[in-house]
Amino acid sequence: MRSDGQVDMAETLSPTASLQRPRGRTINRRTFLLGLAAVLAAPRLALAAAPSATLAAAWQAGRDNRVGLLAAGEGGLAIAAQLDVPTRAHGLLAELSGTLLAVARRPGDWLLRWDRRGRALAWRWIEPGRAFAGHLLASPDGATVYSTEIDLETGAGLVGVRDAASLEKRAEWSTLGLDPHQLAWDRTRPGALIVANGGVPTRPETGRLKLELGRMDSSLVRLDLGTGAPLGQWRLADPRLSLRHLAWNGGRLGIALQAEHDDPAAKAAAPVLAVLADDRLETVPGPALAGYGGAIAPYGDGFAIGCPRAQGVALYGRAGYRGRVELAEACPLATVDGRLWAGGRDRVLSLAEDKAMSGTASRSDIRLDNHWIAI
């Protein structure tokens, strides 16, 4: 990593570099045959070593909204499967059976099950008076799907408890807050889940318009998996930091933050990461990143955060901020076998834990949404 915090592209060696003939030496038959075998094997070895990933994603293609599978590799992004959806999709979930779920956001009125060939298998429209809030979670046995939702009359946050087979709702639990967003299993407390309440008063019909920010109330809430009863709640000292997206790394929960300050300077300088560890919730200092953290993923001994307004991916270790990788409109992140895949407007980055990075061209005909997940 350079002194300015940027991550340098890793240097690569030619697979045939070691076969150059040394000056003043004669290559015998055995050496020649060994070298020839290495040359013939080199293309296959290079191809096998090239990083690649299959990612379920949501994107826009012109005016169309789509979900599907993308193959990411040295050649860029290739669409492996896709299907049209009525409005913007947000969160994605891979089911144990091999099927996938996608859920709408703004307006959050539909839930879709689809397969890896891009075929719609089942649609579920939200119940009257409710809106999906953009994220899903499946029970370990795959029998239940949990969805973050909003009561349209009161604005209260809810967790919808749904039968996975039919996607019908069996129960609702309060999230003890407004604007619920992502939810995750609690790795430190078996039998519990954690929900991030963004705390921003909004209405689905007004889209991104935020109402009465003075009464923001963002929090993390721990709920009992069997009953939905609250088991704990945490808030940050700054009430204008909205807790949105979640990722575990070991026993530490990273939370991507989005600042909602009235003062532009305070908003731009606000932290984009908080960590819940040992039941303590604290922000992590870092440079000004426009106060907007998008997707979050484990990386090394810490976290990576897509910062689309700061045009890069911010990297944090256990000891704190480590640097930023430039990437225009960076947001969707996924960690595959220790390697981070980050999507941007014009390219895809593949970043290993040792900072070795490769860049690939993205597609000009699609605009990635906030999230993708590894398949």
pLDDT at 256: 98
pLDDT at 258: 97
Provide the whole-model pTM. Answer: 0.85
Burial of 194 (0-12, 13-18, 19+ CB in 10 A): buried
Backbone torsions φ then ψ of 42, nearest 5 degrees: -55, -45
pLDDT, tens digit (0-9, with 9 covering 90-100), for 25-36: 344 545 434 443
What is the spatial distance between Cα 343 and Cα 264, in angstroms, rounded to a whole number?
Answer: 27
- In sequence order, the 6+-apart residues with CB closer than 8 A to the CB of 203 are 152, 155, 209, 211
Closest CA to 126 of 114, 110, 138: 110
Identity of residue 288: A
Q: What is the pLDDT along the chain (375 residues), one digit of tens a residue?
A: 444 444 443 332 222 233 233 333 344 545 434 443 443 333 333 333 568 999 999 999 999 999 999 999 888 899 999 999 999 999 999 999 999 999 999 889 999 999 999 999 999 999 999 999 999 999 999 999 999 999 999 889 999 999 999 999 999 999 999 999 999 999 999 999 999 999 988 665 555 566 666 779 999 999 999 999 999 999 999 999 999 999 999 999 999 999 999 999 999 999 999 999 999 999 999 999 999 999 999 999 999 999 999 999 999 999 999 999 999 999 999 999 989 999 999 899 999 987 667 888 888 899 999 999 999
Closest CA to 333 of 55, 88, 95, 114: 55
pLDDT, tens digit (0-9, with 9 covering 90-100), for 97-106: 999 999 999 8
Cβ count near 119 (within 10 Å): 11
pLDDT at 357: 79
pLDDT at 358: 84
Residues in the chain: 375
pLDDT at 3: 42
Backbone torsions φ then ψ of 182, nearest 5 degrees: -85, 155
Closest CA to 172 of 151, 201, 202, 200: 151
Query: Which residues, in sequence order, are bridge partners of residue 324?
Result: 6, 314
Reported as type and span, the H/E element at residue 42 is helix 29-49
Identity of residue 81: A
Q: Is the bond leading into 107 cis (omega within 30 degrees of zero)?
A: yes
